[in-house]
Chain A
Amino acid sequence: MYTQALNQADTGPKVVEDAEKLARFEAKIDAEERIEPNDWMPEAYRRTLVRQISQHAHSEIVGMLPEGNWITRAPTLRRKAALIAKVQDEGGHGLYLYSAAETLGVSREELIDQLLSGRAKYSSIFNYPTLTWADIGCIGWLVDGAAIMNQIPLCRTSYGPYARAMIRICKEESFHQRQGYEIMLTLCRGSADQKAMAQDALNRWWWPALMMFGPPDAQSVHTEQSMRWKIKRFTNDALRQQFVDATVPQAHFLGLTIPDPDLRYDGASGHWRFGAIDWEEFRQVLAGNGPCNRERMEARRRAHEDGAWVREAALAHAAKRRARAAIAKVAAE
């Protein structure tokens, strides 16, 4: 999902945890109690959460770029207003998540630095280009649809600040998917060219959307531990299947074809069975070789650098006002 690059070995120092504290921590998790910032937690739990929450935050922030590309070219004022609101929401979601990560003892500056230096990952999906207006429809329908499917169980994740951020995000996210599907619906009910544009966008976004759920369970390094600590509630494959089952009928309603010759309905299980995912493409995009990786990182770095004078000026202004207030106070005494 937005945290699909968790599949890397944990390189932090191995810590031998106090057995009694660990047992109390795990009993709390088993009892469905939430872990809060100042509570004792194993180092591996803290590190996993910092990585997961910050990857999620980075994905929200980088995710503003592909859609921002179409704000000036939205076909109507109604579409434009909705797209601006959606992109602003993604920025807000990034900020809630950064705040949640910071409660684990990592600073905002460190997190931003990890993204800009390329040490931190973000979702592979945002490294694909938005070539036509139909891509904005597909992103809302499929990318936000996949995000919601992943995020609803995260509302019950064991770390309190993360769960609370997710509740807020899920509440705001459902308009995103609906506005995307409405765009697709309008195109599919329009001219032949418009419908062809919708089909072309689906052809390009379908497989990357399935990759959003991360590597297959058999190759997923941290799933077992994350499930035991209730950071994660469902496996990558389970969520991916749920997504396919939900979206195939939605594509059919639009009159579009899913670009998968192996897709078939399995009546016995009630699931839509899909063909093989090109995991080499996924690995390449995560490794930085997707169509837009460099462009996205350049845009984020430029935004950070261009904003440096604003941050500097704001801090200088605040310091000057504090100094003046202190002098005035002394003079008054």
Chain B
Amino acid sequence: MTEPKMPLWEVFIRARSGLAHRHVGSVHAADAEMALQAARDTYTRRGEGLSIWVVPSAAITASDPADKDSLFEPTASKPYRHPTFYDIPPEVGHM
């Protein structure tokens, strides 16, 4: 018997107030409400969080690892984007 597939959801948890939600894993559920309940049971059995987001996995658009060089390599040649690129005499103090 082939059953229809349960949709997949990605789970994000905010561990403490002041922190961003962080990806922790995924769950299968029929709808958003059940995905939240499943995420709560699966990923917060020991006080891991204060807030949960669930997002349909299909809604995520990801960059292709094959494009890694063209996307991210150019930043390597731009040291002037970092504070240590600039020479300031020590007498000026912390800046």
**A88 and B31 form a contact (CB under 8 A):** no
* Inter-subunit contact A315/B65 (CB<8 Å): no
Whether A39 touches B65, Cβ cut-off 8 Å, given contacts A108-B28, A317-B30, is yes
Find out whether the CB atom of A315 lies under 8 angstroms from the CB atom of B6.
yes
Task: Give the CA-CA distance A88 to B6 in the complex, in Å.
Answer: 21
B46 at the interface (CB under 8 A from A): yes
Q: Would you give the shortest CB distance from B63 to chain A, in whole angstroms?
A: 9
- A312 partner, pick from B3, B26, B29, B42, beta carbons under 8 A: B3
- How far, in Å, is B30 (CB) from chain A's closest CB? 4
Set A39, A96, A108: member contacting B6, Cβ < 8 A: A108
Assembly CA distance A89 to B34 (angstroms): 19
In this assembly, does A102 line the interface, its C-beta being within 8 Å of a C-beta of chain B? yes
Contact status B34-A314, CB under 8 Å: yes
A109 on the B face (CB < 8 A): yes
Q: Which residues of B contact A102 (CB under 8 A)?
A: 8, 26
CA distance A200 to B8 in the complex (A): 45
Judged by a CB distance under 8 angstroms, whether B82 is at the interface is: no
In the complex, whether A294 has a CB less than 8 A from a CB of chain B is no
CA distance A179 to B80 in the complex (A): 56
B25 shortest CB reach to chain A, Å: 5
Partner pick for B27 among A36, A95, A308, A311, CB 8 A cutoff: A95
B14-36 contacts to A, CB under 8 A, are: 25-31, 34
Which of chain A's residues have a CB closer than 8 A to the CB of B41? 88, 92
> Are B3 and A308 neighbours in the complex by a CB distance under 8 Å?
yes
Q: How large is the interface on B (under 10, 10 to 19, 20 to 34, 35 or more residues)?
A: 20 to 34
B64 at the interface (CB under 8 A from A): yes
Q: Which of A294-316 contact B (CB under 8 A)?
A: 308, 311-312, 314-315
CB interface residues, A 146-200, toward B, < 8 Å: 165, 172
Residues of B within 8 A of A107 (CB): 5
B3 near A314 with CB under 8 A, answer: no
Report whether A315 and B27 are in contact in the complex, using a CB–CB cutoff of 8 Å. no
Q: What's the count of A-B pairs with C-beta under 8 Å?
A: 51
CA distance A96 to B42 in the complex (A): 8
Cα distance A89–B41 in the bound complex, in angstroms = 10
Task: Judge whether A318 and B3 touch: CB under 8 Å.
Answer: no
Is B65 a contact partner of A38 (Cβ separation < 8 A)?
Answer: yes
Contact B62 A38 (CB under 8 A): yes
Whether, in the assembled complex, A321 has its beta carbon less than 8 Å from a beta carbon of chain B, the answer is yes
CB-CB contacts below 8 Å: A80-117 with B: 85, 88-89, 92, 95-96, 99, 102, 107-109
Nearest-neighbour CB distance to chain A for B22, whole angstroms, equals 12
Which of A39, A92, A99, A172 is most buried by chain B, counting CB atoms within 10 A of its CB? A99
Q: Which residues of A contact B5 (CB under 8 A)?
A: 107-109
- Decide yes or no: A92 and B3 within 8 Å by CB, A108-B28, A318-B30, A318-B31 being known contacts: no
Q: How far is the CB of B82 from chain A (nearest CB, A)?
A: 24
Q: Which chain A residues border B30 with CB–CB below 8 Å? A: 311, 314-315, 317-318
Nearest CB in chain A to that of B34: its residue: A314
Is residue B78 within 8 Å, beta carbon to beta carbon, of the partner chain?
no
Give the CA-CA distance A96 to B27 in the complex, in Å. 9
Of the candidates B2, B4, B31, the one whose C-beta lies within 8 Å of that of A317 is B31
Q: Min CB distance, B56 to chain A, in Å?
A: 12
| CB of A315 to closest CB in B, whole Å | 5
Query: Would you give 13 A-B contacts (Cβ < 8 Å), ordered by A?
Result: A36-B65, A85-B45, A92-B41, A96-B25, A99-B27, A102-B26, A165-B25, A172-B45, A311-B3, A311-B30, A312-B3, A314-B30, A317-B31
A residues whose Cβ falls under 8 Å from a Cβ of B: 36, 38-40, 85, 88-89, 92, 95-96, 99, 102, 107-109, 165, 172, 308, 311-312, 314-315, 317-318, 321
Q: Which residues of B contact A (CB under 8 A)?
A: 2-6, 8, 25-31, 34, 41-42, 45-46, 62, 64-65
